[in-house]
Amino acid sequence: MNLFVFGLGYTARHFLNRHRSSFDAVAATVRGAEAESFADVRTFGFDREAAEPSMIETLAESDVLLVSVPPGASLDPVLAKFGRVLAKIERPQTIVYLSTLGVYGDRGGDWVDETRLPLPKHARSIARLRAEKAWSALAKDGSKKLFILRLAGIYGPGRNALVALREGTARRVVKEGQVFNRIHVEDIGAAIAAALADDGIGGIFNVADDEPAPPQDVVAYAAKLLSIAPPPELRIEKAHLSPLARSFYDENKRASNRKLKEKLGLTLAFPTYREGLAALFAAGEGRS
């Protein structure tokens, strides 16, 4: 298989670190200094006004598209630039679009699965849902199979509560009844691989671990691993959060991963934050 990645960011890089050998050729769009990451990945600048002819040729020869570029305010930036090109490609292609659980909006802490109607609350999640619909419209021609993976909050190497504690940025903000959904970046990679191995027709899948949990509990567990005292609990009313940070506390839901496990046969390597943080600690995260 030939893979084309739109957006060689944190998640896509970790996917390639583990699954690069599954592909005969890999190409990706990058911004600035990202190009040096993989010597065996052919890179193209995403921000150029006009696509290189060789990029169009590479897209036409790709069997898999992995899309991890965040949506713009109005149009999905990938489809805005390359939608017509992709629509004309007759080669059968599998598209994996990385979306977010934010499209469900606030559910008052209730469980949500893929059958629930999205009710996005914030502009960024509204844009995500709009992008999902645009990619679904592209895939209706029958030559493309689309997987939409709605991701929970991502953590992994260099991006976790252990690092935040060591850097002094971790806080234990408490809002009664609040939980967040999480997923280790390695399990996202496994979910992408499972989608590509699936012989079904595609679909929408929540990608989250088994245990939505209060954010203060995650920080406390990370502190326990590091054998340090956790930061004191801070009520949300006194936390002076930024508008962006506060917006995350505006939504409260528990995402079911049953479909991911049953339909794609995925077994999570890190079913809760405890296994994930313990593995990161064992690898040296947060210790220096």
pLDDT for res 225: 98
DSSP state of 24: S
Q: How much is the average pLDDT of 48-69?
A: 89
Phi/psi region, residue 196 (left: phi>0; alpha: psi -120 to 50; beta: rest), is alpha
pLDDT for res 115: 97
**Residue 279 forms part of a structural domain:** no
pLDDT tier for residue 116 given thresholds of 50, 70 and 90: very high
Neighbours of 116 (CB within 10 A): 17
pLDDT at 50 over 70: no
pLDDT tier for residue 67 given thresholds of 50, 70 and 90: very high
On the CB side of 254, how many CA atoms lie within 13 Å of its CA?
12
pLDDT for res 36: 53
Question: Please, what is the average pLDDT of the chain?
Answer: 94
How do residues 230-287 score in pLDDT, each as one tens digit? 999 999 999 999 999 999 999 999 999 999 999 999 999 999 999 999 999 999 999 8
How do residues 167-204 score in pLDDT, each as one tens digit? 999 999 999 999 999 999 999 999 999 999 999 999 99
pLDDT for res 37: 58
pLDDT tier for residue 31 given thresholds of 50, 70 and 90: confident
pLDDT tier for residue 77 given thresholds of 50, 70 and 90: very high
pLDDT for res 73: 76
Q: Name the CA radius of gyration of the chain, rounded.
A: 19
- The total number of residues written for the chain in this structure: 288
**Residue 239 forms part of a structural domain:** no
- Name the residue range of residue 6's domain: 2-156+183-209+253-268
| Angstrom distance (rounded) from CA 12 to CA 19 | 10
**Residue 122 forms part of a structural domain:** yes
Q: How much is the average pLDDT of 36-49?
A: 77
**Residue 24 forms part of a structural domain:** yes
pLDDT for res 143: 87
Angle formed by the axes of helices 273-282 and 215-226, nearest 10°: 30
Phi/psi region, residue 139 (left: phi>0; alpha: psi -120 to 50; beta: rest), is alpha
**Residue 115 forms part of a structural domain:** yes
**Residue 52 forms part of a structural domain:** yes
How do residues 232-244 score in pLDDT, each as one tens digit? 999 999 999 999 9
How many structural domains does the chain have? 1
**Residue 194 forms part of a structural domain:** yes
pLDDT for res 162: 98
**Residue 77 forms part of a structural domain:** yes
Alpha helices, H only, 139-286: 161-167, 185-197, 215-226, 243-249, 258-264, 273-282
pLDDT tier for residue 48 given thresholds of 50, 70 and 90: low
CATH number of the domain bearing residue 25: 3.40.50.720
